[in-house]
């Protein structure tokens, strides 16, 4: 019996490694249903990319572009840290955006690296933002736009969570004013379906209280090192271990949050059992 279990384990391990090694990029699909989503937005498809960190990862940029063209989304959202704070060596990111933005409505938000570059490299950050705007990319910063189909619409919001000055990391929940999101964003129309792009997933309770129906986040790099088969992340950019919101889908109150594992490597250069990820979110009318 013991030998049989060992054989089964080894077979499963081989299958897992073969599956893992045969693909360079993961495509993770989600379906989000709500009675706030009208029939006009039924099957509306959002591609989420995050944490590219200027260079991407192991020559996967062209693969990502080709996979997105197969998906043919209605919009693409880039949920922060697409550049690194120094705004250097961004040729791969420029390639990604130059190829995708003319084909699909694309929206870009700040992560903590963009916020740092605004402070430490303001000229380089401004030049980069102006360049992607010239390609038609919508840059959202503590505001929103309406995504419109005929006479129906859903709202796409963005929130920047502030950084802690001494560390350069995000502020903690205890440091964030309870009214911060309400002060930064307009009062949400709860009769509409509201998507919030928020790089940092750790403030999901605040996003939910504000009224987000769907939150799209990144930042956690999938836990940087993931335990094979069970898919649990070990570390996070927030300097803690086994982060609660490492990757995947989470529910808090009436809010669904999807955390993308990102594309590039963390500042340590590590991605272990943790492939670059494209998230595909399909909206469905109940």
> Where does the pLDDT of residue 1 fall: very low under 50, low under 70, confident under 90, or very high at 90 and above?
low
With a CB cutoff of 8 Å and minimum separation 6, the contacts of 153 are: 146, 147, 192
pLDDT value, residue 36: 97
Give the least confident one: 22-31, 67-76, 95-104: 22-31
Dihedral sign of CA atoms 67, 69, 70, 72 in order: positive
pLDDT tens column, 86-98: 999 999 999 999 9
Q: Distance (Å, rounded) from C-alpha 93 to C-alpha 56?
A: 7
Supply the DSSP symbol for 188.
P
pLDDT tens column, 50-97: 999 999 998 999 999 999 999 999 999 999 999 999 999 999 999 999
CATH of 26-285 among 3.40.50.720, 3.40.980.10, 3.60.21.10, 3.30.830.10: 3.60.21.10
To 10 degrees, what angle do helices 61-71 and 91-100 make?
A: 20
pLDDT value, residue 44: 98
pTM of the model: 0.91
- Percentage of the chain modeled with pLDDT above 90: 78
> Where does the pLDDT of residue 35 fall: very low under 50, low under 70, confident under 90, or very high at 90 and above?
very high
With a CB cutoff of 8 Å and minimum separation 6, the contacts of 68 are: 47, 76, 100, 104, 278
CA 204 to chain centre: 14
pLDDT tens column, 147-201: 999 999 999 999 999 998 777 789 988 888 889 999 999 889 999 999 999 999 9
> Where does the pLDDT of residue 236 fall: very low under 50, low under 70, confident under 90, or very high at 90 and above?
confident
pLDDT tens column, 132-159: 999 999 999 999 999 999 999 999 999 9
Structure-token pair, residue 193: 């379906």
With a CB cutoff of 8 Å and minimum separation 6, the contacts of 15 are: none
Task: Give me the chain's average pLDDT, please.
Answer: 92
Domain ranges for the chain? 26-285
Residue 18 has pLDDT above 80, yes or no: no
């Amino acid at each position: 019996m013991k030998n049989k279990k060992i054989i089964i384990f080894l077979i499963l391990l081989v299958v897992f490694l073969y599956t893992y090694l045969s693909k360079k990029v993961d495509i993770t699909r989600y379906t989000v249903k709500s009675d706030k989503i009208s029939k006009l937005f039924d099957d509306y498809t959002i591609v989420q990319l995050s944490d590219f960190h200027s260079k991407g990862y192991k020559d996967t940029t062209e693969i990502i572009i080709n996979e997105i063209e197969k998906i043919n989304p209605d919009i693409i959202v880039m949920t922060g840290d697409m550049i690194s704070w120094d705004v250097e060596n961004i040729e791969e990111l420029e390639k990604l955006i130059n190829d995708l933005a003319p084909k699909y409505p694309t929206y870009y938000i700040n992560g903590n690296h963009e916020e740092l570059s605004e402070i430490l490299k303001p000229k380089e950050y401004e030049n980069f933002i102006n360049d992607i705007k010239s390609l038609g990319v919508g840059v959202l910063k503590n505001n929103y736009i309406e995504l419109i189909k005929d006479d129906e619409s859903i709202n796409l919001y963005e929130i920047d969570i502030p950084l802690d000055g001494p560390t350069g990391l995000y502020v903690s929940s205890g440091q964030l004013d309870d009214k911060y999101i309400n002060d930064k964003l307009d009062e949400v129309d709860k009769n509409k379906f509201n998507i919030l792009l928020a790089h940092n997933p750790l403030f999901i309770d605040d996003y939910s209280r504000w009224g987000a129906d769907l939150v799209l986040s990144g930042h956690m790099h999938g836990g940087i090192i993931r335990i094979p088969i069970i898919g649990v992340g070990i570390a996070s950019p927030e300097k803690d271990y086994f982060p609660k919101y490492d990757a995947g889908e989470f529910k808090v109150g009436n809010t669904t949050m999807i955390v993308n594992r990102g594309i590039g490597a963390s500042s340590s250069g590590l991605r272990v059992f943790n492939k670059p990820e494209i998230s595909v979110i399909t909206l469905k009318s109940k």
